[in-house]
Structure 1
Amino acid sequence: MSWRSLIAAAGAGVAVILVATMGAPALAEDALVSLAKQKSLTDTPDGPKDQLRKFGIDVDVWITQFEQGVTSGAIKRTARYGGIMDAFLHVDGEKLGFWKGLKFNAQYEHYFGRNVNRQDLALLPVNVAQAFIERDGYHSALSMTLTQEFSEQFSITIGKFNMLTLAAQTPLVGGGGIETFMNRSFALPSTGIGVSSPESVADRLIVAPPYLLGGVGALKTKYFDLKVMVADPRNAQQPRVIQRPFERGVGAGLMLTVPFEIGGLHGFHTVRAAYSSARGFDLEDIGESQRIARLRGITKKGYRFVSYAVQQYLMQSADDPKVGWGVFSLATLSDGNPNPVKWSVVAGLAGNNLMTGREDDRWGVGYYHYRLSPLLLSGLAMRRIYRRSESGVEAFYNFAVTRWFRLSGDVQIIDPWNPVRTRASYLGLRLQTKF
């Protein structure tokens, strides 16, 4: 059975459940309301998931499908269908019989189908959830982390981190590409310490590795949250990173988040600084002859990066302050060599629909601009490869049929870094089911 057939069957099964529930007049209304409010399709009261939680085990399976097309601007107009299955495991060690504060998390991903990321002229993938599929390479990925909470304020986590999943926790804008924005500029912002990988078509130019091997220390106080991360700067999806960690250098980052209120509305300021001792391709060598470039190669040592982000609610629910909408922005600055992106700006509005009964809906509209390093652009131009900085806008609306069954519409308009076409537009549909 094909993936498309399997998922179509799953969708049909959901429809059968809903129809069957509606067909029993005496219990239909209460059962339907209960089904709609569940966090997932199988998360029934006192059901198997509820029983497992008593032992500290929480399991979730999400399937997100995409139908996305390039409607104008690319060399060839095309549409692709594909998706991703995410399986999550969360274990509370104390409830399972181990010591207090021990947590284990794992996430398995499996990609299926195709996507439009390689069918266009854009630098940043327009569908980040499927951006790291390689034709003869990765179609699945496993991330695992182990956390020890020493107190309510301090914890240490080690392992292989899924950066898309971490980005999904960002207030308002979210991330990860499966619930809010789909473009990488919003769903996986720059970290600036990734090693450039020109040989990897899927990664284009790495501005934030999707997986990192390392550790994070987190300190939470009433006045600020502080995180310190030490990691291998390479994409941990590559087996060599697991086999020989830190052989090409060490990346370190510090992130400080300060909460504040304006007129009783919550907001957050986040400052981040990062440095990597890894060596990257010296962008000054791009314009040299091929013979000289081969001799000099990857010689530039050290990636430096700073960023500043703001999330500010403009409207909040009186019942749940985490439900609301507001403004977000992110500005980054790097050394520009070996980092291929000198600076970037992301800004927009996003959050929940606060209309009565639609609080689970999410929406957003945003603008991004990635200013590429002048050394990169001038070096490519000397080789008669003409590129430019990239900018674009994206808007989406995520309609919650139930809390676990969502349909999104997405539109993007981009001025791609390849000037063969002045502007490209994309339309997409996204269907997510949480089992």
Structure 2
Amino acid sequence: MASASEAGSGWHHGAPFKYTEGMLGDDRACWHDCGVDLHFSTIVIGQKIIDGGTERKGVISASYDAQLYLDTEKLGWWKNGYALLRLEGKTNDDGVNLFTGALVPVNFDAAVPVPEGKDLEATEWWYSHVFLQGKLELLGGMWDIGRFYDLSPFSGPYHFRFLNAHMFFNSTLLPWAPYNRLGALALAKPNDCLTITTGVADPGSSAIEVDWFEDGDWDLLQEWRAIVQPFDKDHPTQLGVGAAYRKKNQPLLENPGQTRSSDWTLWGNFNQWLYKDPDNPTRSIGLFARVGHTDGKINNIKNHYSLGVTFEGIARTRQYDVFGIAGWYNKFSKDSFIAQKGNSSGIELFYNFRVTPWLQITPDLQYLIGPALDPDVNETFVVGTRFLFLL
């Protein structure tokens, strides 16, 4: 079962988010020992806008995700090599995002890899190699920013927790985050408590179209993540700070006829284990917070703040269930076309039931205040249920 209770969750070299159950649990364990990890999941999400929004809309959407991850040493090829191929596709995946009046999607799964896309796409393909006894890793190819930056073990990954895109990444990262990057990464881990991630990517490339830096523009992403123990070893704190810089001519919000050659954002992450069961890693309580800042000249969002808490396996009879509640606040740039709203905020609640090792059902409630895109929409109330099937 996917668990975020370990302090190092998500800090290894971008392997698929691993789970041990599913329809092929025993087979998967055998494949893993041979150097092959296979992740296949199908998500069906039903959502309905029951109040507010631009339209009272109800939609059932579906998507599928296949990830093949190879360990070259276990395969008998060479040491310290890892490769991943990921395919994603959709069926009737319109979602309710267009009808909420919100700038940030309330259903992240319906927004990636391409809004309203239906074809099976190779959304990730990369190879990485580890050096210096695991202290340095170099990676190249097409990679998902959510594997390496702005990580929060209590708000993600989105398959298992929140639906709203606010919880998957910092909203000031919108120009960088959705969602695939062509380029290279260097992950340095000088000790067990610190990870330094540096990436160079092509802003003109995506899973749908790759231009191999032909336009001469580039992104630079840098993040430092550390685990500290201000209280005791059972209540660690995970801290992260990062910056993204884009070298590319982009229109200014104040005057789209003028351009500026660069843009940037800064962000910070805070994750605190409030409770960890020393005898059962599936039981924990975690607090998370995000902050983000831009100058608002190109990015519609000037400041982002979010705060949430998740309860994992707290009920002894439901040790794999997860409950979460989170809220967010966005302050918009005064130069943006949505500046008349000034700000927007919202709250989301979910409860993830693990019905069987291969089926999870997650009721979800979202309340949006001042969603942003339509000045006539003051609030939107969305209800939904996610069905996650694990092979």
Structure 1 residue 169: deviation in Å?
A: 5.9
Q: In the alignment, does 2:64 pair up with 1:104?
A: no
| 1:244-295 alpha-carbon deviations (Å, 9 max, x no partner) | 3252511111111111124320111101122111121111214xxxxxx3xx
Work out whether residues 275 and 286 of structure 2, in 8 Å CA contact, stay in contact via their aligned partners in 1: yes
Structure 1 residue aligned with 2:224, among 241, 256, 270? 256
3-state DSSP of counterpart to 1:357: helix
Distance 1:429 1:399, change over 3 A: same
Q: TM-score, length-normalised on structure 2?
A: 0.87
Structure 2 distance, partners of 1:222, 1:213, is 28
Q: Measure, in 2, the Cα distance between the counterparts of 1:169 and 1:309.
A: 8
Aligned to 1:423, which of 359, 376, 379? 379
Q: Which runs of 5+ in 1 are unaligned?
A: 1-36, 195-205, 287-292
SS in 2 for 1:118: helix
| 1:14 corresponds to | none
Partner Cα separation in structure 1 for residue 344 and residue 126 of structure 2: 35
TM-superposed deviation, 1:72: 0.6
Structure 2 residue aligned with 1:342, among 260, 284, 302? 302
* Cα separation, 2, equivalents of 1:101 and 1:322: 29
User: What is the root-mean-square deviation in Å for CA atoms of aligned residues?
Assistant: 2.3
Structure 1 residues 324, 434: closer, same or farther in 2, change over 3 A?
Answer: same
Post-superposition CA distance 1:355-409 (Å, at most 9, x none): 21322111211111121111114xx67xxxx544221111111111133311001
Q: Which has the larger radius of gyration?
A: 1
Partner of 1:307: 267
Alpha-carbon separation, structure 2, partners of 1:256 and 1:326: 20
Seen in structure 2, the aligned counterparts of structure 1 residues 300 and 38 have a Cα distance that, compared at 3 Å, is closer
Structure 1 distance, partners of 2:154, 2:327, is 15
CA drift of 1:166 comes to: 5.0
2:112 matches 1:156 = no
Q: Which of the residues 266, 289, 295 maps onto 1:329?
A: 289
Letter in 2 for 1:155: E
2:245 equivalent among 253, 275, 282:
275
Q: Which residue of 2 aligns with 1:411?
A: 365
The residue aligned with 2:57 is 78
The 2-side partners of 1:166 and 1:83 are apart by 26
Distance 1:72 1:342 in 2: 28
Decide whether the 8 Å contact of 1:57 with 1:90 is kept in 2: yes
> What letter corresponds to residue 226 of structure 2 in structure 1?
V
Separation in 2, partners of 1:67, 1:131: 15
Identify unmatched segments of 5+ residues in structure 2. Answer: 1-18
Q: Using the alignment, how far apart are the partners of 1:320 and 1:229 within structure 2?
A: 36
1:233 aligns with 2:214: no
Which residue identity does 2:385 align to in structure 1? L
Q: If the length of structure 1 is used for normalisation, what is the TM-score? A: 0.78
Picking from 396, 401, 410, the partner of 2:350 is: 396
Would you tell me which structure has more strand in proportion to its own residues? 2
- Partners of 2:149 and 2:353 in 1: how far apart? 21
Q: What per-residue deviation string (whole Å, max 9, x for no partner) do you get for residues 30-64 of structure 1?
A: xxxxxxx95111122xx3x3443343112121111
Q: 2:335 aligns with which of 372, 375, 396?
A: 375
Q: Percent identity?
A: 22
User: Which structure's relative contact order is higher, taking Cα pairs within 8 Å and 6+ residues apart?
Assistant: 2
Structure 1 residues 156-175: Cα deviation after superposition (integer angstroms, max 9, x where no partner): 11111123455796321113
Q: Which of 108, 120, 126 is the matching residue for 1:145?
A: 126
Q: Contact conserved, 1:248 with 1:279, CA < 8 A, in 2? A: no
Residue matched to 1:224: 194
Letter of the structure 1 residue corresponding to residue 166 of structure 2: S
Measured in 2, the distance between the counterparts of 1:248 and 1:69 equals 43
Q: Secondary structure at the match of 1:284?
A: coil
Matched-pair contact (CA < 8 Å) for 1:173–1:351: no
Distance between the aligned counterparts of 1:136 and 1:401, measured in 2? 30
1:69–1:116 Cα contact (<8 Å) kept: yes
1:56 & 1:427 partners in 2: Cα distance? 41
Note closer, same or farther for the CA distance 1:344–1:94 as it changes in structure 2 (3 Å cut).
same
